[in-house]
């Protein structure tokens, strides 16, 4: 099959965001758009000659077509082998695991995560390195630089590979191995958790609902929860990946996973509920009548991880993204382990994990993970919760109330204002940035500002500095408001405001979060002047 060199021109706007390049599907389908970006990835990592890559995605519309292009380009660029999930399906943590297990040189993940899929929705592509984690900022910058100077790309002409047929085929000299997407991942989970103990839990009548949201975790959840662990059939709902996620947002939070919330707060609620996102790296945890915020989940898992076999000797340290609540800091403090604060996005955890400085990490956006892979991992978090519940024999509500009684409660909420005019959103952040040095000691909505700054991160492992990572304002009395612009949206700007309030008094641990956060919220609105700058009053999404 002939290898072709195709002339092209640089395309604007191919700068990867928080997690790879995300655009409307129609943009990805424009002539040369995908090809330019793939070639730029290859060039940005010094070529793929002789390398092995893992390739897979969340099954959204255009997943299979894009994989065919990537395989033909990998072949033309001299790659030795591509390992591909059957049907083009691989969850993000499963890609991370395969890269590590097979000692591959990296991988390409096709997903726009929790964003909707379909011809009129979103698509995405990102590169993960040989450690299994998202490309670091340095590599990402090199890829972006290539997109701005690219003049040609290489592709092999020829027929399509049958992605459903397990086994090894070839494109020219490059091997293509189609693998079962679930088995290696499940084998890894068995090394981490006490499957016997969780099996006993289900055998004893424990009930669960897992909402796969028509996305990639369906096959994994069916095999692990209903298969290996013996949960009753029907535990997993919406378990068949569909190219448009059943028309929904595969975003596991109380808004988009409302059906699960209704079930868990209804009369026939099972003991435990969970959901995952488009590409399987996020998780939502909800007990009977008890939603667990992702920030609390990270803190509870940190406090109890030793109950699962892999973590029985304790944790090296933990890390959380800056906007994530400080609940986990309190646990780390009491365990006497380090707690790192990083910018938003999993790529910042990689160095800490590789250096053995942290064992668990997490983000307020429903991402939790550990050093077993280099991505956040939705089903892993669910299994760790199950392992803990099996060991303690407590319902989720009791686990939470005991936790708050011991550590205090960080009430938490995130307000998202979506599709805001980009210039107005940037102007609002800029105006706030300018005022930061003057804020300490001033009053806002009855609260006193304690400190205000813009977050910058100095990576303790490679010494790199990432600045402009969000504005944080702390208030006397344990309150905090954080402001940043999303780096994963595909339409205008999304402003995120993260609110937090610590309560330690025994009679204040059971309030409605809206109530506990009311003062911090009004202070945040006053300080940002959001309504005057953007015309927005109510957020589009509250998590
Ligand atoms: C969002 C979340 C961030 C997460 C990222 C990718 O980024 O806030 O915590 O790491 O999505 O998650 P942003 O820049 O829009 O706030 V996923 O599940 O899309 O890979
Ligand atoms: Co995701």
- Ligand 1 centre distance from Cα of residue 345 (Å): 6
Cβ–Cβ under 8 Å, residues 219 and 89: yes
Which residues have a catalytic role annotated? 113
Query: Tokens 């790192």 label which residue?
Result: 340
| Cα-based distances in Å from 434 to 348, 427, 437, 524, 527 | 27, 11, 7, 16, 12
| Band (413; pLDDT cuts 50, 70, 90) | very high
Does any ligand 1 atom lie closer than 6 A to the CB of residue 320? no
- Ligand 1 centre distance from Cα of residue 215 (Å): 17
- Ligand 2 centre distance from Cα of residue 478 (Å): 30
Rounded Cα distance between 101 and 83, Å, is 12
Residue pLDDT, tens place only, 36-68: 999 999 999 999 999 999 999 999 999 999 999
Does any ligand 1 atom lie closer than 6 A to the CB of residue 346? yes
Query: Tokens 């009430």 label which residue?
Result: 411
Q: How far apart are the first and last CA of the chain?
A: 51
- Which CATH code is given to the segment(s) 409-542? 3.30.310.50
Q: What is the mean pLDDT of residues 243-258?
A: 93
From 367, 418, 540, mutation site for ligand 1 pocket: most ligand atoms within 8 A of C-beta = 367
Rounded Cα distance between 374 and 363, Å, is 14
Residue whose CA is at the smallest distance from ligand 1 atom 17: 113
Residue whose CA is at the smallest distance from ligand 1 atom 10: 345
Does any ligand 1 atom lie closer than 6 A to the CB of residue 345? yes
Whether the predicted pLDDT of 291 surpasses 70: yes
Q: What are phi and psi of 497, to 5 degrees?
A: -120, 125
Residue pLDDT, tens place only, 169-190: 999 999 999 999 999 999 999 9
Does any ligand 1 atom lie closer than 6 A to the CB of residue 295? no
- Ligand 1 centre distance from Cα of residue 112 (Å): 10
Rounded Cα distance between 370 and 142, Å, is 27
Whether the predicted pLDDT of 100 surpasses 80: yes
Q: 260, 351, 362: which is closest to 302 by C-alpha?
A: 362
Whether the predicted pLDDT of 207 surpasses 70: yes
DSSP string, 329-391: HHHHHHHT-EEEEE-SSGGGTHHHHHTTS-SEEEETTTEEEETTSSS--HHHHHHHHHHHHHH
Whole-structure pTM value? 0.94
Does any ligand 1 atom lie closer than 6 A to the CB of residue 77? no
Rg of the chain, C-alpha, whole Å? 23
Q: What percent of the chain has pLDDT over 90?
A: 94
Residue 310 is classified by DSSP as G
List, in sequence order, every residue forming a beta bridge with 483; answer none if it has no partner: 471, 497
Closest ligand 1 atom, residue 18 Cα: 14
Q: Where are the domains of the chain?
A: 3-181, 185-407, 409-542
Cβ–Cβ under 8 Å, residues 388 and 349: no
- Ligand 2 centre distance from Cα of residue 211 (Å): 15
Whether the predicted pLDDT of 1 surpasses 70: no
Cβ–Cβ under 8 Å, residues 23 and 491: no
Same fold, 3-181 and 185-407: yes
Rounded Cα distance between 439 and 432, Å, is 10
- Which CATH code is given to the segment(s) 3-181? 3.40.120.10
Whether the predicted pLDDT of 144 surpasses 70: yes
Does any ligand 1 atom lie closer than 6 A to the CB of residue 282? yes
Residue whose CA is at the smallest distance from ligand 1 atom 8: 365
Residue whose CA is at the smallest distance from ligand 1 atom 18: 113
Closest ligand 1 atom, residue 496 Cα: 16
Residues in Cβ contact with 481 at an 8 Å cutoff, skipping those fewer than 6 apart = 472, 473, 475, 497, 498, 499, 500, 520, 523, 524, 527
ipTM: 0.97
- Kindly give the pairing relationship between strand 106-110 and strand 52-57: parallel
Residue pLDDT, tens place only, 465-489: 999 999 999 999 999 999 999 988 7
Q: What are phi and psi of 416, to 5 degrees?
A: -110, 130
Cβ–Cβ under 8 Å, residues 533 and 424: yes
Residues in Cβ contact with 5 at an 8 Å cutoff, skipping those fewer than 6 apart = 152, 153, 154
- Which CATH code is given to the segment(s) 185-407? 3.40.120.10
């Amino acid at each position: 099959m002939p290898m072709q060199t195709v002339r092209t021109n640089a395309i604007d706007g191919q700068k990867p965001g928080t997690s790879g390049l995300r655009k409307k599907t129609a943009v990805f389908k424009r002539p040369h758009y995908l090809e330019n970006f793939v070639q730029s990835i290859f060039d940005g990592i010094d070529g793929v000659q002789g390398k092995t890559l893992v390739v897979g995605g969340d099954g959204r519309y255009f997943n299979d077509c894009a994989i065919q292009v990537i395989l033909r380009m990998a072949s033309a660029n001299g790659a030795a082998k591509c390992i591909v999930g059957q049907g083009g399906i691989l969850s993000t943590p499963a890609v991370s695991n395969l890269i590590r297990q097979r000692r591959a040189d990296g991988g390409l993940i096709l997903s726009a995560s929790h964003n909707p899929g379909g011809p009129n929705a979103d698509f995405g592509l990102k590169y993960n390195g040989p450690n299994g984690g998202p490309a670091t900022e340095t590599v990402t910058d090199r890829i972006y630089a290539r997109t701005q100077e690219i003049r040609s790309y290489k592709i092999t002409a020829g027929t399509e590979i049958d992605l459903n047929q397990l086994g090894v085929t070839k494109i020219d000299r490059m091997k293509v191995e189609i693998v079962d997407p679930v088995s290696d991942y499940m084998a890894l989970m068995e090394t981490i958790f006490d499957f016997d103990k969780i099996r006993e839990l289900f055998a004893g009548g424990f009930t669960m609902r897992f909402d796969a949201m028509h996305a990639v975790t369906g096959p994994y959840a069916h095999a692990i929860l209903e298969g290996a662990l013996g949960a009753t059939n029907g535990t997993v709902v919406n378990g068949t990946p569909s190219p448009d996620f059943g028309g929904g947002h595969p975003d596991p939070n109380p808004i988009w996973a409302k059906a699960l919330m209704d079930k868990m707060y209804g009369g026939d609620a099972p003991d435990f509920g969970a959901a995952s996102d488009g590409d399987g790296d996020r998780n939502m945890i909800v007990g009977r009548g008890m939603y667990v915020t992702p920030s609390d989940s990270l803190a509870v898992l940190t406090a109890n991880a030793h109950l699962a076999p892999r973590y029985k000797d304790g944790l090296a340290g933990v890390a959380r993204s800056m906007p994530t609540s400080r609940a986990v800091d309190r646990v780390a403090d009491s365990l006497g382990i380090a707690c790192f604060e990083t910018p938003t996005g999993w790529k910042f955890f990689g160095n800490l994990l590789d250096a053995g400085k942290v064992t668990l990490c997490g983000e307020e956006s429903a991402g939790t993970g550990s050093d077993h892979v280099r991505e956040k991992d939705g089903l892993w978090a669910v299994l760790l919760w199950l392992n803990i519940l099996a060991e303690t024999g407590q319902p989720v509500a009791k686990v939470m109330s005991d936790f708050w009684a011991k550590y205090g409660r960080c009430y938490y909420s995130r307000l998202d204002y979506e599709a805001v005019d980009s210039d107005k959103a940037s102007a609002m952040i800029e105006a706030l940035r300018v005022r930061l040095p003057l804020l300490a000691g001033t009053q806002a909505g009855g609260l006193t500002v304690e400190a205000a700054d813009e977050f910058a991160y100095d990576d303790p492992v490679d010494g790199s500095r990432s600045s402009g990572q969000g504005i944080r304002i702390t208030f006397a009395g344990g309150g905090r408001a954080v402001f940043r612009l999303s780096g994963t949206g595909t339409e205008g700007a999304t402003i995120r405001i993260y609110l937090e309030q610590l309560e330690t008094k025994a009679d204040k641990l059971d309030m409605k979060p809206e109530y506990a956060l009311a003062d911090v919220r009004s202070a945040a609105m006053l300080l940002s002047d959001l309504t005057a700058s953007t015309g927005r009053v109510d957020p589009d999404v509250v998590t």
